[in-house]
Chain A
Amino acid sequence: MMGILACGGKPDAASPKHAGQFRVALLTPGPISDQAWNAGAYAGLMRIKDSLGAQVSHVQTKTPAEFEENFRQYGTQGYDLVFGHGFEFQDAAERVSAEFPRTVFVTTSGGRTGPNLAGMDFAFEEGSYLAGMAAASVSKAGRIGAIGGADLPPVKASFAAFEAGARAVNPGVVVIVSYLGSWDDVSAGKEQALAQIGRGVDVIFQNADAAGLGVIQGARERQVLAIGANANQNGVAPGTMLGSVVIDLPHALLTVAREVRDGKFVPRVISLGSRDEVVSWTGSPALSRPVPAAVALRIDSVRARMRAGAFRLSSASAPHK
C-alpha cells in the first residue's frame, strides 16, 4: 500500500491515511441550525476548514452509544483532531482516546485530560454573572428566570453565576430556574417560558439550544425580555433580547486546531474566558428598557476586573471540574 502511494508520487506517505492533509471532525449533540451552542461549533469547524485548509467532517449525535461509535469511526479513519461538543462527550472521549493515540480528542466543556485528550473550560459563568447584573437591573418585578435544556454541570454553574450577578445588583431578586429535559422541543421551551412569565418573571435567560428559541418566542409574545446563550442571539428577536452571553466558539476551536496542526498541542484543560475574550456579555444595542447607566458602569468595571483576572466567582458558581 505504501509502495503504491510512493510510486504515485506522494512524498509524504509515511502515514497513508493522513496523506498530508490535516483532518478535523466535530460531533455535536444537536442540530447545527440552533443558532446557539451547536451552530457556534459548526462555524468553528468551517473556520478551521477555511483558515487551515483542513478537511473537515461533522456528525450530529444523540446518545452516548453514538458518541463512542462516531469517535471510533473518526479514530479509525485517522483523523488528526476530533471535537466532542459538550460536557456529555467526556466519558466516550476518554474511553476512545486510549485506542487511537494518533488522534487528539477534545471535549468542549470538560475537565478531563490524557496523553491525547483535552478538555475546554469556558468561563461561561463570567458572562452569565454580567447577564444576571443586567437582568436584575431591568426587571420591574424583581423576578427573573433561567431555563435550561438539562441540568448539565456547565448549565447549572452558569445559572448559579447568573443568580449571583443578579443579587449583586438587587439582593432581594427572585431567580426561578427550570429545565426542559429536551434541547429540541421548541414548544416546551415556549410553554415553560409562559409559565415563568405567568409567575411574574420579566427577564428570562435561556440555555436550551434549539428549544431556547421557544423561550425567546414566549418572551416576545408576552413582551418581556430574554437573554441568549452561547452565540450572539440578539438578532433573533430584536427588541426582546436584553443581550447574549456569547462564547466565541469559532475562535476557540480554531485556536486548538492550529496548535494540533503545528505540533504544539499539549494535553490540558484549555481555560478560556473573559481574559481571552472568548466569553463575553453582549448587550443589545436598541432597547426600550435599557440597563440603567449606573449598572452599566458597574458591569463594565466587573468586566474589566474579569479580563484582568482579578474577579473571582464564589465556589458555588465556579466551573465544575
Chain B
Amino acid sequence: MSDALTALLEGSVRTATPLAFAALGEVVAERSGVINIGLEGAIIAGALGGLLAAGAGGVVAGFAGAIVAGVAVAAVFAAFTIALRVDQIITGTGITLLSLGLTGAIYRAAYGTGGAALGTPTIGPAPVPGLSALPWVGPALFAQPVTTYVVMILAPATWWWMYRTHDGLALRACGENPEAAEAAGIRASRLQAAAVLWGGALGGLAGGTLVLAQAGTFAEGMSAGRGFIAIAIVVLGRWHPIGVIVAGLLFGAANSVQFLFQAMGWQAPYQLFLATPYVLTLVALATVRSQGVAPAALGRPRRDTA
C-alpha cells in the first residue's frame, strides 16, 4: 500500500509541476491587475518552442526556446491590453485560439504529417542525494526532474519578491488601483507589461515541461486546457504564491487519484473519475472565502489619468 501511496504522491507532483509554473506566472500578472486568459496560448507555444529548440540544440536550448515562445505570445497580449487598452478577456481568448491554431500549422510545416514521434530528448528524474530516500515524500518531492525543484524555489521567491520588496509592493499597488499607483510615481504600465511577460515566460516553461520533462513529443492541443486550470488555481490559491502552490498540488493530487482509481480497475463510470479534479475545484471555490482577496483592478483597462 505504501508503494501505491508513493506512486500517487509522485504522480501528484509531476502533474502539478506544469500547472504550478503557469499559475505562479499568472499570479504575478493578476496581482498587477491584468488577467491573462491567453495563458493557454503561452503554454502551447512554449510546448512547441521547446520541441523545436530541443530538436536543434538539446534540452537546455529547449527550455530556453519554451521561455522565448511563451514571452512572445505574452508580448502580443501585453501590446493589445496594456498599450492599446483592449479588453483583456477578449484579447486573451483570441490569443489562445490563435496560438492553438498557429502552433498546429507551424508543427506541421516543421515536421510534416509524420510528426515528431518520440524522438525528442527529455530530462529524467534527478534525485537529490539523501532527501530522495525519505519515506513516502522523498521520491515524490526529491526524485523529480529539475523543473520541479525550480518550481519549489520559485514559489517562496515569488512570495518574498511580492511581499518583501519595493517592486513587489508597487506591483500589488497597481493591481489595486493603477491610477493611484501612477500618481504615487509608479510606472504602472511598464510594471504591468513586465508582469505579463513574466507570466508568459512561466507559461512557456509550463509548456516546455510538458514536452521536455514528460511527453517527449508534441501534439496539437496538448496543453489540453491547462492554462485555464492554472487561472482557476490562482483563484483557489487566493492570489498568493504559496496558496497557488498548495492549490496546484491539490489539483495534481486530484488528477493522480483519478488515474489511480481507473488503474485499480474499479467498475464505475470513468467519467466520474475524470471529473474528480473539477468537482474538487468547484467545491474549493465555493467553500474558500475569496471575497475581497482579488486585486481590485483585476481585468480593468487603465483609465486615463492625464
Cβ of A187 and Cβ of B210 under 8 Å apart?
Answer: yes
Chain B nearest CB from A224 CB (Å) reads 13
In the bound complex, what is the Cα–Cα distance between A60 and B113 (angstroms)? 13
With CB as the reference atom, state the residue of chain B lying closest to A186: B215
- Residue with the greatest number of chain B CB neighbours at <10 A, chosen from A43, A178, A181, A192: A178
Chain B nearest CB from A57 CB (Å) reads 15
Cβ of B114 and Cβ of A35 under 8 Å apart?
Answer: yes
Interface string of A128-140 (1 = CB under 8 A from B): 0000000000000
Cβ of A186 and Cβ of B11 under 8 Å apart?
Answer: no
Task: Give the residues in chain B near A236, CB-CB below 8 Å.
Answer: 117-118
Is B189 in the interface zone, CB < 8 Å from A?
no
Interface string of B94-119 (1 = CB under 8 A from A): 00000000001001100111110110
Task: Give the residues in chain B near A291, CB-CB below 8 Å.
Answer: none
With CB as the reference atom, state the residue of chain B lying closest to A213: B217
Task: Give the residues in chain B near A221, CB-CB below 8 Å.
Answer: 124
In the bound complex, what is the Cα–Cα distance between A174 and B266 (angstroms)? 12
Are A34 and B219 also in contact (CB < 8 A) when A187-B210, A191-B255, A195-B7 are? Answer: yes
Partner of A191, one of B118, B217, B256: B256
Is A176 in the interface zone, CB < 8 Å from B?
yes
In the bound complex, what is the Cα–Cα distance between A184 and B224 (angstroms)? 7
Is A237 in the interface zone, CB < 8 Å from B?
yes
In the bound complex, what is the Cα–Cα distance between A115 and B270 (angstroms)? 37
Cβ of A185 and Cβ of B262 under 8 Å apart?
Answer: no
Cβ of B224 and Cβ of A188 under 8 Å apart?
Answer: yes
Partner of B263, one of A32, A184, A199, A220: A199
Cβ of B111 and Cβ of A192 under 8 Å apart?
Answer: no
In the bound complex, what is the Cα–Cα distance between A191 and B218 (angstroms)? 16
Chain A nearest CB from B20 CB (Å) reads 14
Task: Give the residues in chain B near A42, CB-CB below 8 Å.
Answer: 113
Chain A nearest CB from B93 CB (Å) reads 16
With CB as the reference atom, state the residue of chain B lying closest to A209: B219
Task: Give the residues in chain A near B7, CB-CB below 8 Å.
Answer: 194-195, 198
Q: How many A-B residue pairs have CB under 8 A?
A: 129
**In A15-54, which residues have CB < 8 Å from any B CB?**
30-35, 39, 42-43
**In A164-199, which residues have CB < 8 Å from any B CB?**
174, 176-182, 184-192, 194-196, 198-199
In the bound complex, what is the Cα–Cα distance between A237 and B3 (angstroms)? 28
With CB as the reference atom, state the residue of chain A lying closest to B124: A221
Cβ of B118 and Cβ of A199 under 8 Å apart?
Answer: no
With CB as the reference atom, state the residue of chain B lying closest to A178: B262
Is B159 in the interface zone, CB < 8 Å from A?
no
Cβ of A217 and Cβ of B215 under 8 Å apart?
Answer: yes
Is B176 in the interface zone, CB < 8 Å from A?
no
Is A84 in the interface zone, CB < 8 Å from B?
no
Task: Give the residues in chain A near B3, CB-CB below 8 Å.
Answer: 198
In the bound complex, what is the Cα–Cα distance between A198 and B11 (angstroms)? 10
Interface string of B247-281 (1 = CB under 8 A from A): 00000000110011011110000110010000000
Are A194 and B11 also in contact (CB < 8 A) when A187-B222, A213-B219 are? Answer: yes
Are A179 and B274 also in contact (CB < 8 A) when A191-B14, A199-B264 are? Answer: yes
Task: Give the residues in chain B near A259, CB-CB below 8 Å.
Answer: none
Chain A nearest CB from B207 CB (Å) reads 11
Cβ of B215 and Cβ of A214 under 8 Å apart?
Answer: yes
Prevailing SS type, chain B contact patch: helix
Chain A nearest CB from B18 CB (Å) reads 8
Partner of A185, one of B14, B114, B117, B224: B224
Cβ of B11 and Cβ of A190 under 8 Å apart?
Answer: no
Chain A nearest CB from B115 CB (Å) reads 4
Task: Give the residues in chain A near B112, CB-CB below 8 Å.
Answer: 33
Is A151 in the interface zone, CB < 8 Å from B?
yes
In the bound complex, what is the Cα–Cα distance between A67 and B9 (angstroms)? 40
In the bound complex, what is the Cα–Cα distance between A182 and B259 (angstroms)? 13
Cβ of A181 and Cβ of B271 under 8 Å apart?
Answer: yes
In the bound complex, what is the Cα–Cα distance between A201 and B3 (angstroms)? 15
With CB as the reference atom, state the residue of chain A lying closest to B7: A198
Partner of A178, one of B113, B221, B270: B270
Interface string of A215-250 (1 = CB under 8 A from B): 011001100000000000001110000000000000
Is B15 in the interface zone, CB < 8 Å from A?
yes
**In B204-251, which residues have CB < 8 Å from any A CB?**
210, 214-222, 224
Is A211 in the interface zone, CB < 8 Å from B?
yes
Chain B nearest CB from A136 CB (Å) reads 16
Task: Give the residues in chain A near B222, CB-CB below 8 Å.
Answer: 184-187, 210
**In A233-291, which residues have CB < 8 Å from any B CB?**
235-237
Cβ of B262 and Cβ of A186 under 8 Å apart?
Answer: no
Task: Give the residues in chain A near B260, CB-CB below 8 Å.
Answer: 195, 198-199
Cβ of A31 and Cβ of B104 under 8 Å apart?
Answer: yes
Cβ of B215 and Cβ of A213 under 8 Å apart?
Answer: yes
Is B84 in the interface zone, CB < 8 Å from A?
no
Chain B nearest CB from A197 CB (Å) reads 9
In the bound complex, what is the Cα–Cα distance between A39 and B220 (angstroms)? 13
With CB as the reference atom, state the residue of chain B lying closest to A211: B219
Chain B nearest CB from A237 CB (Å) reads 6
Cβ of B113 and Cβ of A33 under 8 Å apart?
Answer: yes
Task: Give the residues in chain A near B306, CB-CB below 8 Å.
Answer: none
Cβ of A220 and Cβ of B274 under 8 Å apart?
Answer: no
In the bound complex, what is the Cα–Cα distance between A174 and B218 (angstroms)? 32
Cβ of A198 and Cβ of B4 under 8 Å apart?
Answer: yes
User: Could you name 9 residue pairs across A and B whose Cβ atoms are closer than 8 Å?
Assistant: A34-B115, A60-B220, A176-B265, A191-B15, A191-B255, A194-B11, A195-B263, A217-B118, A217-B216
Known pairs A176-B264, A185-B224 / 8 extra A-B pairs, C-beta < 8 Å: A33-B219, A39-B115, A177-B265, A178-B270, A190-B214, A191-B259, A194-B7, A217-B217
4 nearest interchain CB pairs? Answer: A33-B115, A210-B219, A31-B220, A195-B259
